[in-house]
Structure 1
Amino acid sequence: MSTNLLESTPPFTQLRTGVLQKYTPGLLLCSIAVLIAMIVNHFFSGVSPLIVAIILGIILTNLVQLPASISPGITLASKKLLRLGIVFLGLQLVFSDILSLGFPMLAVIVCIVAGGIFGTILMGHLLRMKPTQVLLIACGFSICGAAAVAGVEGVTDSEEEEVVTAVALVVIFGTLMIPFIPFATKVLGLSPEIGGMWAGGSIHEIAQVVAAGGIIGGGALGAAVVVKLARVLLLAPIAAILSFRQRRQGYTSPDGKRPPVVPLFILGFLAMVVLRSTVALPDEVIAAGGFLQTALLSAAMFGLGCGVKIQNLIHVGVKPFILAFGSTTLVTSIALAGTLLTHLG
């Protein structure tokens, strides 16, 4: 027995060493990017580390020829770590906070997500774009940005270029919304609370929502975050529906496996939501979960940013940008109309 154990040790050690050598260079680079993003966020609290990380990735990959050795770690970050970050995102949601919005506003949020997705798909069809690219943009812009893109990518046969393009568009258009919503709120004479709900219902990324809510001031930030998290919660049923559709259509992954009815990371996300909503977790645990979520998603954003080649964005043409503009306009309009109807009607 001891002889067999000794004989089995070298291959295991070689395997472990091989795995470390394969993923360490890319993950180390991601860690450095996350550290820089966190430092920037520390000194400029209004700047999201996720946005900093993806911009770092875009700049680096377009200025420097990155060695092939970092590719496995970068891919691991942009896929596996992104989904793990979505799991920890669930710790931000509390059912009671979302239910406190009331049925009318919850119905508006469902309309924002459903109307945004179906409207964007219709526009994409009119533009004669690839259905998978359209679906990624539709869910990213209607639900929760890059996290939704990752969730949908996990249950569809999307290509890497389509995923990277959708994430890049989320960053571009979501960032443009940060100054626009506060400016429009002031011009329209809306209260901070209504402006915050509008921001939460229309802007793509949570970090972008926080930035816009902070600019509006007053009670806008709290209202914006709760509305946005209610949109995030709809990622789970949307991903489940898309996965079920893929199974019905007989889609299989390259290794021959059918997509799960509900992706594992979506189940993890829901488990975290239930845990946060039913258990009085210590503040330290919630803070640690928030830190892990930010770090994991920042690493993933850097990895995705490293896949954004400016030349490739030019190559995809103007149609994705037209669709992104149309989707942003649609989601923003539904959010404004619904918020005004529920609070001023």
Structure 2
Amino acid sequence: MAAFPYYDTPAIDALNAQAVALLKLFAERGYVREEPAVLQPAEIFLDRSGEEIRRRTFTLMDPSGRELCLRPDLTIPICRQVVQEGRKFPARIAYNGLVFRHQPGEPHRATQFFQAGVELLGLEDRAAGETEILSLTIEALRVAGLKQFSLRIGDLALFGALVDALALPDGWRARLKRHFWRAGYVESLLYWLGHGDGKAKLPGTRAEIEALLDARADAPMAGRSREEIISRAMDRAVEAAALHLDPAVADAIAKLLDISGPAEGALISIRALLKTAGINLDPQLAAMDGRLATLKSLGVDPGQVQFTAHFGRNMEYYTGFVFELWARDKEGPVQIAGGGRYDSMMEMLGAKKPVSAIGCAIRTERVLAAKIAGGA
């Protein structure tokens, strides 16, 4: 697809017909269509989307100096509107519209494209919500005429529960969760905690810290005094020296993050690793078993479902179950849909209490291309 797509009459007609079919399905399932403005306050995306979307957001400045952007997705502005209006839950919202994303280093990828999707907000039964969204996504692809596709699934909550089970201070648990999206960084932390690599090199005495500051005299201090920096560094050194994970546990977690393959086999591997580490995550694994059962009931071949433990690292607002659907166009494999759970989003946007949230987005132009290429 061209970086700056031009839609001729056949393309417009095909996209419109597809949109009508999808929106009709969503309406039949109780979803009401809405559409936020194309131009949005930049901060709502830059503060909440994660590095992957931040670096791909088109930003501009209005005459008053306020930073704006072309919407890089529709989930965040829809959630923001629901919070601002104080709507009752559960809320079911559908959309179909253009989004805009810079494609650094990939000049032939489209900078604007259509997305159709749904958001399910405030349904307390989380398992039922996941089943509803997953089922609706698959049904939507079939309504659009696409029969052949594969799935990739993951669960960020699995890693969160794993970290909570570790004998670490709360601050370090939060640090591991916060940096889950930094590929390689969490693995380095786990190795350091389990094997002690580099602990002896940490500056811990006042003299060592002062020498380090003197060597970096030009570095900014972010408004803190020299004494504050020294005191904080000494506290961290004391805490770090006391930290330790059983090397077998640290290695098991790192291996778990590397697991990727057919979902049923991957879950067997995860259970074996957790048993080795002495960690019980039965509720989270039972939830994944339930999702696989849902997919089977929808007629999805289990062999077409891949589980990837680190999946979800490119969109920081996801908090739990995540999924992608893939098909093939004339050039090869393409992602045609994706979604997941983002339970922290509503509070981040101003909700007074936690609100469950899950949704999906379908790349409609890619669905058409895959259908034409023979995926129907």
Decide: shared fold, TM above 0.5. no
**Which protein is richer in helix relative to its size?**
1
Q: Which has the higher contact order (CA 8 A, sep 6+)?
A: 1
Pairwise TM-score range, normalised by the shorter structure: under 0.3
**Which protein is richer in strand relative to its size?**
2
Task: Please give the TM-score of this superposition, normalised by the length of structure 1.
Answer: 0.27
Larger gyration radius, structure 1 or structure 2: 2
Task: Please give the TM-score of this superposition, normalised by the length of structure 2.
Answer: 0.25
